[in-house]
Amino acid sequence: MFGPENAQSFLGMAVVIGICWALSENRRRFPWKLAIGAVVLQAILVAALFGLPALRAGLGGAGQVVDGLATSTQAGVAFVFGFLAGTPGQPYPLTNPAGLFVFAFRVLPVILVVCALAALLWHWRILKWITQGFGLIFEKTMGLRGPPALATAATIFMGQVEGPIFIRSYLPTLSRSELFMLITVGMSCVSGSTMVAYATILKGVLPNAAAHVLTASIISAPAGVLLARILVPREPETEQPQALEPEGDKVYDSTVDALIRGTSDGLAIVMNVGATLIVFVALVAMVNGILGMFPPIAGAPPSVERGLGVLFAPLAWTMGIPWHDAPTAGSLLGVKLVLTEFTAFIRMGAIPAGDMAERSRVIMTYALCGFANVASVGINLAGYSVLVPERRGEIVGMVWKAMMAGFLATCLTASVVGAMPNGLFGG
C-alpha cells in the first residue's frame, strides 16, 4: 500500500514548507494549526474524491463531460474552419494523423465554449451557489474572513483576476496578508475554462485526466492559503470579522446576454493565451538558438529546458517522482514557470506513454496545474491595478513573491498526492 516513494513525497512537503518558512517575514509566527489542517484537508479531499465510490463515480463522469464538450466544440470549429479543424474530409492523403491535433483549433475553442457555459451557470445561480459553498468551507476550516474566503472560492472556478472581482469593494480594506494570500491563491489554481483545456490535452496519455485536473485546482487552494500565511503572516489586529454583501459585477440581463458576454470574455482569454504562448515560446527558441552556439554538454547542445531540468530535478524527486523521471519532470516544472502551464501540459502530453511512469504523470499533473508563471505576474499587476489602483505599489512589491508561493503550492499539492496510498488512483 505504501512504499519508499511515499516517503519521498513526505520529504517534499517538508522541503516546500521549509523553504517558505526560511523566507517568511516573521518566522516566529509560523501557523502550526493551519499547516497541519491544510495538509490534512488536502489529504481528506483526495481520499474522499478518489476513495468513496459515489464521489469517484462523479469524478469519472468529469471525463465524459470533457469528451462531450470537446466533441461539441469541434462541431462549431468545423463549421467555421472546415477541414482545418481536423475533422474528416481532408482534401489530401494523411501521412501523419497525429498532426491533425492543432492547438489553436482543438484547445483554445474549448476555453471559449466553457467561458460561455460558466457565464450561463452563473446567471442561473448554479455556479454562484457552488462558489459560496466553497467560500463557507474555507471560512470555517481555514479561519478566513468572509470576503477573502469568497474570493478564494471564486478564484478556483473563475480565474486569478476574475475571482477577486466579486469582492472588489472590499479590496482596499484587506490587510496586506490577505491581499498577498489572494494573489498567491490565484497563482496556485487555474480557472474552470482552462481545466477542461488541460484535460483535453492529457486525456490520451493519463487515465482520468479530467478528474485529476479538477481535483488539482480545488485542493491547491488550501496549499496557497497556507504558504501565503507562512510567508506573510496574518495580522489579527486588522483582520476582524467582516460582513459580506454580494457584489453585483457579474449580473446578466438574460440567458442570451450571459452567453454573449461569456463568449466575449472567453475570446479575450483565448487571445491572451494564444498570444502569450507565441511570444514566450519564441523567446525561449531565441535563447536556445544562442545557447546552441556553445559546445555540447553530455552529448547534447545546452538549452533552457535542459538547464531547468537540472535545476528542478531534485525538487521533482522530493515530490515522489522516480529519479529516472526526475530530469524530465524538473524540465516540465521549469517550463511551467517560464513558458506557462499550457506549454508544460502540451509537452507532457507529447511524452509517449512508455517514457514516463503513470505515477509520475499523476504527480506532475498536480504540480503543473496552477497559474504561477512569469506571464501571470504581468496579468496580476494589470488586473489589480484596475481593481484596486490605490494599492498598486504594494502589489508590485509582493507579486513576485506570490508567484514563488503559488509555484511551491502546486508542488506541495503534488507531494500530498504522492504520499497517498499507491492504489488510490488505480482502476
Tell me if 31 is assigned to some domain.
yes
Global pTM value: 0.82
- Residue 32's Cβ-count burial label (10 Å; 0-12, 13-18, 19+) is exposed
Which is higher by pLDDT, 344 or 83? Answer: 344
Q: Which residue has the cell 496578508?
A: 177
Cβ proximity of 59 and 53 under 8 Å: no
CB 111 within 8 A of CB 197: yes
370 or 99, higher pLDDT:
370
Q: Give the per-residue pLDDT at 248.
A: 44
What's the pLDDT score for residue 101? 63
CA distance readout (Å), 220 to 266, 338, 410 = 24, 20, 6
Residue 90 lies in a domain: no
pLDDT tens by residue, 344-367: 988 888 888 778 888 899 999 999
- What pLDDT shows up at residue 246? 45
Pairwise CA distance, residues 138 & 294, whole Å: 51
Sequence-separated (6 or more) residues with CB below 8 Å from residue 101: 86
54, 338, 408, 410 from 371: Cα distances, Å: 30, 11, 11, 10
* pLDDT score at 427: 45
Highest mean pLDDT, choosing among 9-18, 110-119, 255-264, 353-362: 9-18
Count of the separate structural domains present in the chain: 1
* Residue 30 placed within a domain: yes
Higher-confidence residue: 396 or 132? 396
Q: How far is CA 308 from the centre of its chain?
A: 20
Report the pLDDT value the prediction gives residue 280, as an integer from 0 to 100: 76
> Residue 388 pLDDT more than 60?
yes
Residue 250: which residues within 8 A CB-CB, separation 6 or more? Answer: 119, 122, 165, 166
pLDDT of residue 265: 78
Domain assignment present for 316: yes
pLDDT tens digits for range 133-175: 777 777 777 777 778 888 888 887 777 777 787 777 778 888 8
With pLDDT > 90 as the criterion, what percentage of the chain qualifies?
18
Q: Provide the domain limits for residue 217.
A: 4-82+99-240+252-418
Q: Is residue 163 part of a domain?
A: yes
Q: Would you say residue 94 lies in a domain? A: no
> Region 83-89: what's the mean pLDDT?
69
Instruction: Give DSSP secondary structure letters for 35-74.
Output: HHHHHHHHHHHHHHHHHSHHHHHHHHHHHHHHHHHHHHHH
Q: Which cell numbers in the block locate residue 99?
A: 498532426
What average pLDDT does range 300-317 have in this prediction? 85
Residue 246 lies in a domain: no
Any domain includes 270: yes
Region 422-426: mean pLDDT is 68
